[in-house]
A and B are shown apart, each in its own frame.
Chain A
Amino acid sequence: GAVVSQHPSWVICKSGTSVKIECRSLDFQATTMFWYRQFPKQSLMLMATSNEGSKATYEQGVEKDKFLINHASLTLSTLTVTSAHPEDSSFYICSARDLGTYSSYEQYFGPGTRLTVT
């Protein structure tokens, strides 16, 4: 149980184009999903907190107009990198909290999406 998937697992796009990454909770409902960014050989940095049916909350320094987050259902959140540039190349990871285990503070992580912008 508690499986989170991401699609695609890797994507290459040209500079100036937009790319969408999907995060799905497969066997549980998640009112809250989180998006992280990980540069090579570095730790995970939280980008934003995504809540079903409401606007995402972005961390300081994260451009909300560049990284569009939509959480349209209890099992799906999307991250769209708009007008991507080579410096946006990174490993993007999502996680989800199980609605049924609110008190556990545990997040379940997706396998990540590697974005390369050429």
Chain B
Amino acid sequence: AQSVTQLDSHVSVSEGTPVLLRCNYSSSYSPSLFWYVQHPNKGLQLLLKYTSAATLVKGINGFEAEFKKSETSFHLTKPSAHMSDAAEYFCVVSVASGYNKLIFGAGTRLAVHP
């Protein structure tokens, strides 16, 4: 069965410093993986997705993630954090059967300090 584990429930960085949000996945198939962001009282927004093409995936707002099969990881990074990046981030795997359901990780809350 597919699953994702977000290794940190909270991450705190200073503005202008790098961001690293960690995600490990479990899948018996070649997975489709996503990162979504949820700002307070707002809907989910897709940051980026991996669907078996290039292993380094670039997303919106300067975020990128690298799919590493050997490590079963899909960590999200950004070189320089901005105050507006403060939000909840979800790592998500698509179930490779049926209707391609999405399985969400527990989420990582990113705080950005001045």
Contacts and interface: CB of A to CB of B under 8 A. Distances in A.
Interface of A: 32, 34, 42-46, 49, 51, 57, 93, 95, 97, 104-107, 109-112
Tell me whether chain A's interface is mostly helix, strand or loop, or mixed. Answer: strand
B44 interface: yes
Interface of B: 32, 34, 36, 42-46, 49, 51, 90, 94, 98-107
Tell me whether chain B's interface is mostly helix, strand or loop, or mixed. Answer: strand
Contacts of A44: 44, 90, 104
A44 B106 CA distance: 8
A65 B42 CA distance: 29
Contacts of B104: 43-45
B44 A46 contact: no
Nearest to B94: A105
Contacts of A57: 99
A34 B102 contact: yes
Nearest to A102: B100
A115 to B, nearest CB: 14
A106 B51 CA distance: 10
Contact of B105 (A43, A106, A107): A43
Contacts of B98: 49
